[in-house]
């Protein structure tokens, strides 16, 4: 149940988007990150780039202000 909030946000997004998964990729990525980060290893750690989120990773790093 540690990641259930992320799962619910993803499922809610799917319902609101007419089950268009492409519209919910940010939430899908957050859910997978949660599963990989938990100590009980709910999912094996894999680079998000290998899971199809390379474009979202680069967008995330571009949004961060440089110091």
Given a contact cutoff of 8 angstroms between Cβ atoms, the answer to whether 30 and 6 are in contact is yes
pLDDT over 70, % of the chain: 79
Average confidence (pLDDT) over 21-40? 87
pTM of the entire structure?
A: 0.65
> Is residue 2 predicted with pLDDT exceeding 90?
no
Residue 53, SS3 per DSSP: helix
Is the Cα torsion angle 63, 26, 56, 21 positive or negative in sign? negative
Q: Where are the domains of the chain?
A: 3-60
Cβ atoms within 10 A of the Cβ of 31, count?
Answer: 21
């Amino acid at each position: 149940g540690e990641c259930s909030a992320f799962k619910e946000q993803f499922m809610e997004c799917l319902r609101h988007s007419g089950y268009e998964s492409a519209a919910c990729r940010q939430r899908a990525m957050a859910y997978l990150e949660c599963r990989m980060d938990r100590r009980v290893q709910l999912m094996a750690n894999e680079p998000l780039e290998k899971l199809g989120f390379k474009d979202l990773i680069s967008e995330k790093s571009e949004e961060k202000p440089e110091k």
